[in-house]
Amino acid sequence: MMRVGEIDDVSGNRCLIVENGDIGVLFKLRCQSNLIVDLIQPDLLNPRPLQSIHGVIGLIELQGSTYLVVITQSIKINSDYLKISRVHFYSLNSHSNDLIDTPELDFDYHYCLDLKRLIEFGNFYYSPTTDITNNSIDSGNPPNDHFIWNSFLVDPLLQWKSSLQLPQRSLIDSLNPFTIIIQGAISIYPLPNSNSSLQLISRLSSKRAGTRFYSRGVDDDGQVANFVESETIFIHNNLTFTYTQIRGSIPLFWEQQGLQAFGQRIQITRPYRASQPAFEKHFYNLLQSYDAIHVLNLLGQKDHEVTLSDSYNTHLDSLQNVNLPITYSNLDFHTVLRLAGHQAVVQKLDQHLSQGQGQGPTWSLIDNTTGQTIIKQHVVFRVNCLDCLDRTNFVQDIFSKSRLGDYLTSTGSAYAHDEGFWQAHRHLWAENGDALSRLYAGTGALNSSYTRTGKRTLAGLFSDATKSVTRAYVSNVTDKAKQTSIDMFLGNLPTQRGVSVYDPVSDLVNGALGERLGEYSTSHPISIHTGTYNVAGQIPTEDILPWILPDLPGQADADMLVLAFQELVQLTPQQIMSTDTFPLAVWERFILETLRSRGDEGESKYARDDYIILRSEQIVGLALIVLVKAPLAPRVRSVEGVLKKTGLKGMSGNKGAAAIRLQYESTTFCFIAAHMAAGQAGVEERNNDYRTIAAGLSFQQGKVPSSHDCVIWLGDFNYRVDLPYDVATQLAYDGDFHYLLKHDQLSRAMRSGIFKGFTEMDIHFAPTYRFDFGSDVYDTSEKRRVPAYTDRVLYKCRNDAGGGDADMLQGQAYDSVPLKGSDHRPVYARFSAVVRVIDGDKRDAIAKQVQNDANRSIVTEEGVDEKLARLGLKGRNMNRSLSVDLNGGLTPNDDLLPPSSLPSPSTEVDNWWTDELGNDIDFVSHLYPDGKEDDIAVPSAQKIRRPPPPPPARLDVDVDEKDDTAVDDVEDVDDAELIRLNKNKENTGTPSPRKPSVTEMIGKIEGSNSDVKEEREEAGDSSDTLKDAHTNSQNTKPRKPRPPVPKATKPRVLSNDEEIKAE
């Protein structure tokens, strides 16, 4: 059992140490979010014990404080697996920041509480003895990063460990403080009267983690939401049977809102060609882990499922053309269940199982005595429904039973016909479904009563109805906060930064990478064409090519098109309260047809790439469409969209904003289309609209517009010109745009802080509002609206964007187009942007080179005193007051002790506390012959501490725990007791032993491991990568050359599901 303790450095700052009595890891805050972590011998420091712990989850910074997160209580599943039930957050800044774990206190105010609840109630597991991240077949591989949930917290510690030499790493492995955790479900059924067991382990991926309506579909790395690997394990007679299945959200870009008036509408946010790269990457990733894949799609023919299912099948068809070992089939689960019942579903599943399993082995078999794989499963089933919960779990239970039954029958096992055995199997899968469903949807799984009993009951129907209602509540009330906690735990929030462990070598590497940016990256320009058009509810009838792709001198077609529309629909009360998507579909089709038909086929200048729609967003009459050249689509990733209403105080969508963000190579862009409040006198309303939009737009994982490299606002901002109608109209006709712009409301607002930091290209065109329909005449209606520049495009870049690229976003052209189908004129703005492309392999090679060069120059020999001085710590046996000098060392404050009458220092033949005859000196009278110590004028802050008894003789022999405690506590006794203890120590005739220092232990390990070290060096082994750090943390079993020391009391062996409480 490990312990966590605290000590204070010479400046009074808090330090934490995780130790087992022999070896300790020290955590000392160097500056904000920067720690010193070091290996140290605990008895040098005499730490104040705080609590016994089971492991360290990692480090995290919250609200300006850095926390050490430790496991304090676990539930034992079996000898290998434990479930986390209690954690604690220790602040390295101050103990007053600790989360007080007392039931009587209301600690809702504490910012660690949400994370604490997430970990304690989130089905997190760990293993101190085995790699829990890999399935049984891959257990010899490095830990699987897809299933590690605390990478953000523990990676800095594992990287620090990997930077150490082999002897130091071996000492840390003997302590094994750093814990790798997974999320999911682990259920084990020990078979009666035998050493056999039936197990079910499900590992939930951390790569696109979240709750049901906040995490759907795929990302640009091919990672899908709710991806789970489930493994059925049967251990019997030195053999292990395993059967693996996977589940995961449909790997397309799609979203679904929670509670809607007309059902849960599914929106596919990227078209086929824009989705294909991520779709293919997902299946390529799967084939790195499994030999072959069979996809079983359980979606039905409901309106909100059929579109998604059809698109899925279209993408799957494309994989058949490249001869990948991927097959698929469809089963309308709900239709079969409704028409024929559960048994008919089981029969259908048997057909799909036979169809999809192919000709290879259908399960895996491992020899437990040798660890060798006898048979390896060939085809892995990827099962999905909409949420990958209820239907999926039902199907996987049937498949698991079928494969396990075939194995038991083929081996003649009596369990093949044991009803109790199969009842346990059903129970494991029911528990598995409930656990995974609670993580993703907030309730247990539907159909779990049938899974448990094999029967459909009235109580089960009522239970499912209750769960459905609860899911609706959870998804709309609590899931958003839970998603934020998940993103915070995984380090996905844009404002988060990981805790860095101070490492001079790492600082050198980072500095070198910054200086040598040009060696591993390149930058190149792309062109972005933006346009805004208030169409006044009209359908497209004119040629819009001069607006969306004008023929500009010396410029090719833009790489990206960003088009904003306002008033796609007539703003009637009915339209304002709901969104009609038909007009947007009409405009999208019209834009694509215009782009495809541009120019004559014989003209080479028009033999250009096609465009595809990356994403579009609509809020009532406001829409934003982003298109990109088809060959460039694979370079674009992380495309997201959000909406913000501002009409009727945020309740109506007649005014507001639609935003789309994306990453092109390594550069991020955010495009915001806005339609603000109307009216000549509504300046302050428009200013408030801007503030509301700027503060209210938030993408996934907390990203906001200001966190992007480049931001472009465009739309009908509705700012007017403060001039009389007759004057403004005449100036517009005369082309005196400069005078008009002197009275432009937006220009004045920007000077007062609205759109702070944004820029607009010079305007050399007439006001774009308001014209009579079908003419070039400004408004002649009774309202006689003043001509104004309502349609605008603004832009800005972050100062640190682009890694040193100057003028990252430059305006090329800004103009209006004389289309007459509306009372507005469309406006376009052309930009040239510089994007940076990072070559990861070259960057890693440079980092490795710099690291190796730095490591060769580091001196590793360091004594105990030097280490304590470097860490700014005061050792327990130091009898002089110390202070820190500016160079980081420690110097004695000799002025705090009397300057004279001090005894001579001890030598090898005599001691300072005895006289020539060997009798004890009365050192109080010797130091203060003229009076008591209290009579000496010494400031209270510099109170003299009595010298401790002599240090124990330096003998490497066993130590008695009681005597050692007496030495530890001697500073707290009075003078008489101090002298008595000293005499008793001498009268025993046995000198006090001393534990070997960390340096000495390392020396012994270096000697015992010299052969191993030479072999590693000859093989060119490198242990400073993260995966090696994981492997060493889990698998290394170093020798223990240190002398015997007292051992902590081991916890008693508990039965399954009994809590192991920290002593």
Residue 491 lies in a domain: no
Q: pLDDT tens digit string along 672-693? A: 999 999 999 999 999 999 999 9
**Neighbour tally for 746: CB within 10 Å:** 25
Residues 294 and 350 placed together within one structural domain of the fold: yes
Higher pLDDT, 898 or 719: 719
* DSSP per-residue codes, 504-539: HHHHHHHHHHHHTHHHHEEEEEEEEEEEEEE-TTPP
Residue 506 lies in a domain: no
Residues 738 and 639 placed together within one structural domain of the fold: yes
Q: What's the confidence (pLDDT) of residue 476?
A: 81
**Neighbour tally for 1029: CB within 10 Å:** 26
- In angstroms, the CA 129 to CA 144 distance is 16
**Do β-strands 364-367 and 373-375 pair in parallel, antiparallel, or remain unpaired?**
antiparallel
Residues 979 and 1006 placed together within one structural domain of the fold: no
The burial class, CB within 10 Å (0-12 / 13-18 / 19+), for 657 is buried
Whether omega for the bond prior to residue 770 falls within 30 degrees of 0, making it cis, is yes
Residues 618 and 571 placed together within one structural domain of the fold: yes
Spatial neighbors of 243 by CB under 8 A, at least 6 apart, are 231, 232, 362, 363, 364, 377, 399, 400, 403, 404
Q: Evaluate whether 227 touches 204 at the Cβ level (below 8 Å).
A: yes
- Cα-atom radius of gyration of the chain, to the nearest Å? 35
Q: pLDDT tens digit string along 167-193? A: 889 999 999 999 999 999 999 999 998
Q: What's the confidence (pLDDT) of residue 1007?
A: 57
**Neighbour tally for 585: CB within 10 Å:** 12
**Cα angle value 467/470/473 (rounded, 5°):** 155
Residues 173 and 195 placed together within one structural domain of the fold: no
pLDDT category of residue 436 using cuts at 50, 70 and 90:
very high
Higher pLDDT, 803 or 346: 346
Q: pLDDT tens digit string along 771-789? A: 999 999 999 999 999 999 9
Residue 405 has pLDDT above 60, yes or no: yes
Model confidence pTM above 0.85: no
Q: What's the confidence (pLDDT) of residue 909?
A: 52
Weakest mean pLDDT among 630-634, 724-728, 794-798, 1040-1044: 1040-1044
3 state DSSP class of 849: helix
- In angstroms, the CA 547 to CA 533 distance is 9
Residues 804 and 901 placed together within one structural domain of the fold: no
Residue 286 has pLDDT above 90, yes or no: yes
pLDDT category of residue 263 using cuts at 50, 70 and 90:
low
Residues 691 and 822 placed together within one structural domain of the fold: yes
| Arithmetic mean of pLDDT over the chain | 82
Edge-to-edge strand list for the sheet holding 710-716: 636-647, 652-664, 667-675, 710-716, 791-797
- In angstroms, the CA 581 to CA 726 distance is 40
- In angstroms, the CA 249 to CA 1028 distance is 31
Question: What average pLDDT does the segment 590-594 reach?
Answer: 95
Question: What average pLDDT does the segment 904-921 reach?
Answer: 56
Question: What average pLDDT does the segment 791-801 reach?
Answer: 85
Q: Evaluate whether 476 touches 264 at the Cβ level (below 8 Å).
A: no
**pLDDT > 70: percent of the chain:** 77
**End residue of a domain, out of 967, 987, 1007:** 987
Instruction: List phi, psi (to 5°) of 71.
Output: -90, 125
The strand pairing partners of 668, in sequence order, are 663
- In angstroms, the CA 878 to CA 893 distance is 12
Residues 177 and 51 placed together within one structural domain of the fold: yes
Q: pLDDT tens digit string along 94-119? A: 888 888 766 555 545 688 999 999 99
Instruction: List phi, psi (to 5°) of 884.
Output: -90, 130
Eight-state DSSP code of residue 917: T
Q: Evaluate whether 686 touches 856 at the Cβ level (below 8 Å).
A: no
Instruction: List phi, psi (to 5°) of 826.
Output: -70, 150
Higher pLDDT, 450 or 943: 450
**Do β-strands 379-384 and 239-247 pair in parallel, antiparallel, or remain unpaired?**
parallel
Higher pLDDT, 859 or 855: 855
Residue carrying structure tokens 């609206």:
785
Q: How far is CA 11 from the centre of its chain?
A: 35
Q: What's the confidence (pLDDT) of residue 913?
A: 56
- Burial letters for 781-801: b for 16+ Cβ neighbours within 10 Å, e otherwise? eeeebbbbbbbbbbbbbeeeb
Q: What's the confidence (pLDDT) of residue 166?
A: 87
Residue 900 lies in a domain: yes
The strand pairing partners of 832, in sequence order, are 527, 810
Question: What average pLDDT does the segment 1021-1040 reach?
Answer: 43
Residues 304 and 251 placed together within one structural domain of the fold: yes
Range of the domain at 41: 1-182+857-863+997-1063
**Neighbour tally for 405: CB within 10 Å:** 16
Residue 510 has pLDDT above 50, yes or no: yes
Residue 669 lies in a domain: yes
Q: Evaluate whether 228 touches 436 at the Cβ level (below 8 Å).
A: yes
Q: pLDDT tens digit string along 937-976? A: 333 333 333 344 444 444 343 333 334 333 333 334 444 4
- In angstroms, the CA 185 to CA 203 distance is 7
Residue 1010 has pLDDT above 70, yes or no: no
Residue 301 lies in a domain: yes
Q: Domain tally for the chain?
A: 4
Residue 870 lies in a domain: no
- Burial letters for 826-836: b for 16+ Cβ neighbours within 10 Å, e otherwise? bbbbbbbbbbb
Residue 1030 has pLDDT above 90, yes or no: no
Residue 895 has pLDDT above 80, yes or no: no
Most confident segment among 280-294, 341-355, 919-933: 280-294
Eight-state DSSP code of residue 59: E
**Neighbour tally for 400: CB within 10 Å:** 22
**End residue of a domain, out of 987, 1010, 1040:** 987
Q: What's the confidence (pLDDT) of residue 989?
A: 46
Residues 623 and 701 placed together within one structural domain of the fold: yes
- In angstroms, the CA 619 to CA 658 distance is 7
- Reading the block at residue 908, the tokens are 């090898």
Q: What's the confidence (pLDDT) of residue 651?
A: 61
Q: What's the confidence (pLDDT) of residue 240?
A: 97
Residue 900 has pLDDT above 60, yes or no: no
- Reading the block at residue 896, the tokens are 């705090």
Residue 884 has pLDDT above 70, yes or no: no
Q: What's the confidence (pLDDT) of residue 968?
A: 36
- Reading the block at residue 790, the tokens are 């309502």
Q: pLDDT tens digit string along 319-378? A: 988 889 999 999 999 999 989 888 899 999 999 999 898 878 999 999 999 999 999 999
Q: What's the confidence (pLDDT) of residue 31?
A: 76
Q: pLDDT tens digit string along 482-497? A: 999 999 999 998 888 8
* DSSP per-residue codes, 626-689: EEEEGGGGGGEEEEEEEEEEEETTTTEEEEEEEEEEEEETTEEEEEEEEE---STT-HHHHHHH
CATH number of 566's domain: 3.60.10.10
- As a three-state string, the secondary structure of 958-1006 is CCCHHHHHHHHCHHHCCHHHHHHHHHHHHHCCCCCCCCCCHHHHHHHHH
Higher pLDDT, 403 or 498: 403
**End residue of a domain, out of 380, 400, 417:** 417
- As a three-state string, the secondary structure of 807-818 is CCEEEEEEEECC
**Neighbour tally for 443: CB within 10 Å:** 21
Spatial neighbors of 133 by CB under 8 A, at least 6 apart, are 143, 144, 145, 147, 148, 180, 182, 203
Q: Name the amino acid, one letter, at 541.
A: T
Q: What's the confidence (pLDDT) of residue 261?
A: 42
Residue 1027 has pLDDT above 60, yes or no: no
Residues in the chain: 1063
Q: What's the confidence (pLDDT) of residue 649?
A: 63
Residue 1050 has pLDDT above 90, yes or no: no
Residue 136 has pLDDT above 50, yes or no: yes
Higher pLDDT, 390 or 969: 390
Q: What's the confidence (pLDDT) of residue 830?
A: 98
Residue 496 lies in a domain: no
- In angstroms, the CA 823 to CA 812 distance is 26
- Reading the block at residue 735, the tokens are 């082309």
Closest CA to 622 of 718, 699, 691, 706: 718
* DSSP per-residue codes, 394-451: HHHHHHHHHHHHHHHHHTT-GGGG-HHHHHHHHHHHHHHHHHHHHHHHSSPPTTHHHH
Higher pLDDT, 506 or 260: 506
Residues 918 and 1022 placed together within one structural domain of the fold: no
Residue 649 lies in a domain: yes
- Is the dihedral angle over the CA atoms 999, 1002, 1008, 1013 positive or is it negative? negative
Residues 893 and 914 placed together within one structural domain of the fold: yes
